[in-house]
Structure 1
């Protein structure tokens, strides 16, 4: 039976209209046949009510009591996933799945903390946060005890070895250090901040061997430091912060280059040859160390186990001055991949002083992305460079000693044991220097590679920040909460006062002179970090003149440099969001939903490169090597009429992708073809579309290249000849009938449930209007709240998501009740 769940008299006109248009056609909810759950903790009564989509609404007088209910409810929804999360975070997955997980567990142990350190970090938290985390653990255990007493197995999706049900007696009681471990893992994975110096050193080593004097030109082209044409969150000209002294950075040759006023992420001294010399390095050891630093085994295991492996996310905040209702609006779309069960969950916590609803992670109390009674917020990965690899010089005869400030120091060492299902336990030796965990020891070269991170031992500060966000009432309150974030994130808020704000967060190291931040740093003590950039100097803005801020992991401000990875270039997907938001003088919630749909299929490579190709097609310069074949001219007609969206059946999308690959091969295969040893995908990732733009724009490029890739050819000729080759290959692969070259965008899979069409969308999405007296929002969390295939909430949001429909975020705890 169709039911209107929206309580329309409490919703603003446009949020109500959005819900009616997007939700009601599919708003058939499960019957309200369950009972209200009442619990007792610390002398308080806690009430848990589930709405028609299974979202738990927890009411209590204090936050500690609400946290108990939070833990109880999410354990009911996700105890299997919580167990997998803590195993991954602790490096204990091999105990469950066997030898295939040993390498990942070893990485986790080497790069992580001991149990004593996790406990010590917990004890350093403020007393109120300790009480909340302990209450959450107690709530998980209260549910677990009840469930175990039933003696029944529980059906759980995609838990290893539990196809016929999970025996809950095998699940160990929850500890506060489980939450600590998961929080640390999520903070690092979602905002850990690079650490690719070893990968870059390996690339430079290959370039030196293959290209001699051109090696540094190629290196600097592929790993550019700043592209002023790259889309920014803060509008150009609206950020008054310039780093005092306008410091400089330099490439490995010692050539000093202006950094545009960026923080001293690495200011290279002139006349230093190749800069801070780390001595000869063994490529094989470098490759192994790079794999550990990049979390290769951990991410591969997480992918197999259905845990979070990806980072991304988009966010839009619209000020009241640009909103059609006069109320500030916010969209949050964290992108972490799609699994069954969902990576995140939803929860609503209501106490005497907090009323917060939104998305969280199983195993961690509270709401990470959502809204309270005064404002809404979201976050995206910041991609700031907060990690460096230091190269330690080992003692000639003792590999456990390294030289630091003129003395031989002994590494910290501990041994941990990995239990292996069906096999013998594995011993792991974990080493640390003053810089951090040792990811690889190169006995031959007498080097050790240590990973130094600015957030080391500080990850739990994020809990303090999230608690402060839940209590924030103004944009200023929220900014103060952001100052506590240690890892790299962009944070956004929109308030009932009509204000919006953006803060680029995370501890940014101030590196020593003589350091190129793209490469490993000498570890003997002369190139230590000089501290951290004060939060007041980090990019931020409140109420920009354009009336909105938007981010899709792009750079925060024009003057902010890339780190050790050239993530930010002229080709970047945020350009489309900003374009769409700027088109209308006033923005409605419906407009925001339409933008979410648009960017889901928009090809951001085409956003910059397609106009360049079209220009070449129209100009048709009179050069022998710029002539098109007949089929290529027909392909050009498809491209001239393409709207840039990767929709099912699009012929132009197939042609454009083939053309882009041909241009990449033409320009970069000879100098960088060695990267293909890591796979064609790695080559395509390294030779980014922005680098193609840098080359094809030639002298007009925002980042002029140093190496001669064109070899005397006109850029238009390169583009048109690539189109000839692309069409020739497509004809061989797909046949002569161009109309049959149809693009398929694939699906998002929720096994064992049916898939939905694939789009570049948020794992969770919320649209919130911050009106008075009520802040109201809608959200979607596919496939559903529960991990249990026998629950009505296992897949009840999957079909809604497929149509970009939403459900109400019920911020009043007296909502309808449904069973699990």
Structure 2
């Protein structure tokens, strides 16, 4: 019996050892993960960091000094540019290696290699969208210029120097959880970061939905509900700006386009863009007599943060701001002469073309009255725990046919991608955006700013500028295709050369304004210009609400300070509510309301139109407008099996204020003929009833900060590594455009002057390690709407009480 027990004990022990060393599905090998020598324990970091550290590294040309401040932000001082970008790569990898790796894998369509078949469709999508193809072309452009070639090569060497020095126990926590090792960094990985940003900011399309709208409703209705210029607008370039250039001839619309917009087309069966704000005021509006610039790009909020703060100094540059982990240079920031920031333009630089193949082999397609050869690109997708999958992507001269058959397209994903159409996308073209930032980082004046922008292709950005010369400017900038009006609003006939892009708008003719008489420049993703601009950039932009509020506040502002700008970045006032609330209230009959509805009506009548966290009125209005909007359009534009685009808030507001008798207010699903008043009454009842059902009687639980969900997750959605839900104000249509997990990813204010001072914060911290104090140490500062003063050192030897440690790199 004792012998049997001993055998059983040995077997159980052996099983436990095997189980602890074995990975089951997504669960890491527990024994390996918990190993005190190599497991997650090794990722714990103290708040107290070493005061000095010295490292000898290969590929360095000279000594580099890196000073770390109290927020663990590196200030790099190198004796040449090679070592500067080498050090940037090294310290960024030290803090954000897993983030760099996983973002690169996502863009390159290589997630399935580390997480298995569940990522296969997103990998296949990125391969089929031509992300790798575009990155390969981008790398060609960057490597042609000696400055950017040195920069990207040195950055890559620095990243690899850090990777080569890692033992498994030193791997970032996520590598241990997912049970894979970091791989060598390649120059193309830096380009993948740009392509990922292009996908985020310029990778969406309404063309499939708009084409379905045209087929279902016809051109007259579509032109009425989806106009080329909105009812309300406060454009980026001030109305009345004169264009001091002779425009190129505008291409003539294709015969196919003319026919579609004039014939009766028989019926047949995008989420709002990413928002950001920036503005700059002249010295005449500033308390110091020098310009002030502010920027807060709105992106998806994650831990680790999208941005990485850094100062870069060499004999050719001294610049401070934020970079993208995985890419060299400062992307948004300032030096001691100029400052700059960006918001998204939302230019139409992605178009779809119908393809006619000769036969089922799909080896040839019809274009320009002849058959042309289809190019085939073989994509091999490796899958963890399974055999690799080989995918063949067809390319016409326009670009990839993302899904040539419905069978290839996932059933419930990528709704805005049409089947059988080729993609023409600016992100596929050869370009060198890094040269733009290389030059901006070293810029001294307006001329340097304008020259730098000529190198920027995509995603198109509103580049705002301020200088110590007391100049301010803004330029909606990128490489814009030369098109006929509305070209790309709908899917186009890919066989007709008249539908091709017809060249490019000259960079010097991109819309721009310098030192306007009103004393400020600004953007919030609204229309770039008024209708007098001779070229077509797009038919739709973000709606005017944020831009209008910014312009109203800046128009009235005098003797502004950094704090004026900081407070304005957290402004929660709703222009939409200002426009429509008084009209909406006129249609509500208090005698027909329930007790809860009467209370809600009393509250909203007193609401100050601010989306602050403790506002109950904000919750009522938001729910009311949402229900009204969907009640008006849902019966017409929610068609099962057909992807359609709803009319905008702007168009809905126009009908409410100017045409309450419009036929569009009738619900086509009922035998009655509903009016605007019916829609407003029913939507008010529904809004209040929903709030009662979800949050109880009107009271504290109706406060906006509790009703809306605000959170920041870990990039891999690892439980416990994000913030969880937190109370905050803000809304997509107000300056403080914080909604769910999307919002101000970096807030910055720069005061120009004899000594330029910057202030900024992002939600999170410099470290990507959840076990570090510096993983989210700046989150509360960001959440409270405050800014950190950014430390700008003029030399490696400059003393500052904020410096907490020094890292010296020497060549081995």
Common fold by TM > 0.5: yes
Does 2:457 correspond to 1:492? no
Match of 1:360 among 323, 328, 343: 323
Shift of 1:721: 5.3
Shift of 1:584: 2.0
Q: How does 1:308-323 map to 2 (within 5 A)?
A: 311-323=274-286
Match of 1:274 among 214, 237, 260: 260
Q: How does 1:37-52 map to 2 (within 5 A)?
A: 37=54, 41-52=59-70
Match of 2:155 among 111, 128, 136: 136
Deviations 1:774-795 (A, max 9, x none): 2111111221000113333122
Q: How does 1:49-128 map to 2 (within 5 A)?
A: 49-110=67-128, 111-114=130-133, 117-118=136-137, 121=140, 124-128=143-147
* Unmatched runs of 5 consecutive residues or more in structure 1: 1-28, 208-213, 248-262, 284-293, 297-308
Match of 2:476 among 490, 495, 504: 504
Which whole-Å CA distance do the structure 1 matches of 2:473 and 2:184 have between them?
41
Which whole-Å CA distance do the structure 2 matches of 1:530 and 1:400 have between them?
26
Taking structure 1 as reference, are residues 765 and 532 closer, same or farther at Cα in structure 2, changes over 3 Å only? same
Question: Partner residue of 1:659?
Answer: 624
Tell me the C-alpha RMSD between the 2 structures: 3.7
SS in 1 for 2:114: helix
Taking structure 1 as reference, are residues 596 and 708 closer, same or farther at Cα in structure 2, changes over 3 Å only? closer
Does 2:593 correspond to 1:629? yes
Shift of 1:806: 2.2
Which whole-Å CA distance do the structure 2 matches of 1:771 and 1:723 have between them?
52
SS in 1 for 2:171: coil
Shift of 1:93: 0.9
Which whole-Å CA distance do the structure 1 matches of 2:370 and 2:313 have between them?
57
Contact 2:633 2:646 in 1 (8 A): no
Contact 2:320 2:335 in 1 (8 A): yes
SS in 2 for 1:220: helix
Q: Which moved more, 1:780-789 or 1:799-808?
A: 799-808
Which whole-Å CA distance do the structure 2 matches of 1:271 and 1:44 have between them?
61
Question: Partner residue of 1:201?
Answer: 211
Match of 1:752 among 704, 717, 721: 721
Question: Partner residue of 1:290?
Answer: none
Which whole-Å CA distance do the structure 2 matches of 1:268 and 1:655 have between them?
48
Which whole-Å CA distance do the structure 1 matches of 2:495 and 2:744 have between them?
40
Q: Which moved more, 1:96-105 or 1:336-345?
A: 336-345
Question: Partner residue of 1:381?
Answer: 344
Taking structure 1 as reference, are residues 739 and 108 closer, same or farther at Cα in structure 2, changes over 3 Å only? closer
Does 2:145 correspond to 1:175? no
Question: Partner residue of 1:184?
Answer: 195
Which whole-Å CA distance do the structure 2 matches of 1:236 and 1:401 have between them?
48
Does 2:566 correspond to 1:593? yes
Shift of 1:440: 2.1
Question: Partner residue of 1:480?
Answer: 451
Taking structure 1 as reference, are residues 748 and 583 closer, same or farther at Cα in structure 2, changes over 3 Å only? farther
Taking structure 1 as reference, are residues 640 and 126 closer, same or farther at Cα in structure 2, changes over 3 Å only? same
Question: Partner residue of 2:780?
Answer: 799
Does 2:757 correspond to 1:776? yes
Taking structure 1 as reference, are residues 366 and 447 closer, same or farther at Cα in structure 2, changes over 3 Å only? closer
SS in 2 for 1:660: helix
Contact 2:139 2:191 in 1 (8 A): no
Which whole-Å CA distance do the structure 2 matches of 1:780 and 1:422 have between them?
42
Does 2:740 correspond to 1:767? no
Question: Partner residue of 1:818?
Answer: 805
Q: How does 1:17-56 map to 2 (within 5 A)?
A: 31=48, 33-37=50-54, 41-56=59-74
Question: Partner residue of 1:578?
Answer: 551
Shift of 1:199: 2.8
Shift of 1:139: 0.7
Shift of 1:735: 5.2
Q: How does 1:361-760 map to 2 (within 5 A)?
A: 361-442=324-405, 448-458=420-430, 460-487=431-458, 488-511=460-483, 515=487, 517-559=489-531, 566-570=540-544, 572-599=545-572, 602-614=573-585, 616=586, 629=593, 631=595, 632=597, 634-674=599-639, 686-698=646-658, 715=676, 718-720=679-681, 722-727=683-688, 730-731=691-692, 737=698, 741-743=702-704, 744=706, 745-749=708-712, 751-752=720-721, 754-755=723-724, 756-758=726-728, 759=730, 760=738
Which whole-Å CA distance do the structure 1 matches of 2:169 and 2:86 have between them?
24
Contact 1:345 1:359 in 2 (8 A): yes
SS in 1 for 2:113: helix
Question: Partner residue of 1:303?
Answer: none
SS in 2 for 1:417: strand
Shift of 1:397: 4.7
Contact 2:210 2:489 in 1 (8 A): no
Shift of 1:728: 5.1
Contact 2:229 2:539 in 1 (8 A): no
Which whole-Å CA distance do the structure 2 matches of 1:782 and 1:565 have between them?
34
Question: Partner residue of 2:7?
Answer: none
* Unmatched runs of 5 consecutive residues or more in structure 2: 1-45, 408-417, 714-719, 731-737, 808-812
Shift of 1:269: 6.7
Which whole-Å CA distance do the structure 1 matches of 2:228 and 2:149 have between them?
42
Shift of 1:498: 1.7
Which whole-Å CA distance do the structure 2 matches of 1:665 and 1:96 have between them?
41
Which whole-Å CA distance do the structure 2 matches of 1:116 and 1:360 have between them?
19
SS in 2 for 1:636: helix
Q: Which moved more, 1:741-750 or 1:333-342?
A: 741-750
Which whole-Å CA distance do the structure 2 matches of 1:699 and 1:244 have between them?
38
Deviations 1:243-299 (A, max 9, x none): 859x9xxxxxxxxxxxxxxx76x847799432599999996xxxxxxxxxx8x9xxx
Shift of 1:442: 4.1
Taking structure 1 as reference, are residues 279 and 612 closer, same or farther at Cα in structure 2, changes over 3 Å only? closer
Shift of 1:362: 1.0
Contact 2:354 2:420 in 1 (8 A): yes
Q: Which moved more, 1:532-541 or 1:504-513?
A: 504-513
Match of 2:226 among 212, 219, 223: 223
Which whole-Å CA distance do the structure 2 matches of 1:443 and 1:795 have between them?
44
Taking structure 1 as reference, are residues 753 and 659 closer, same or farther at Cα in structure 2, changes over 3 Å only? closer
Does 2:176 correspond to 1:162? yes
Which whole-Å CA distance do the structure 2 matches of 1:523 and 1:221 have between them?
29
Which whole-Å CA distance do the structure 1 matches of 2:284 and 2:334 have between them?
20
Shift of 1:132: 1.0
Question: Partner residue of 1:253?
Answer: none
TM-score, structure 2 as length reference: 0.80
Contact 1:277 1:522 in 2 (8 A): no
SS in 1 for 2:365: strand
Which whole-Å CA distance do the structure 2 matches of 1:271 and 1:467 have between them?
41
Q: Which moved more, 1:636-645 or 1:267-276?
A: 267-276
TM-score, structure 1 as length reference: 0.79
Which whole-Å CA distance do the structure 2 matches of 1:687 and 1:359 have between them?
37
Residue-pair matches, total:
716
Which whole-Å CA distance do the structure 1 matches of 2:357 and 2:791 have between them?
59
Shift of 1:635: 3.1
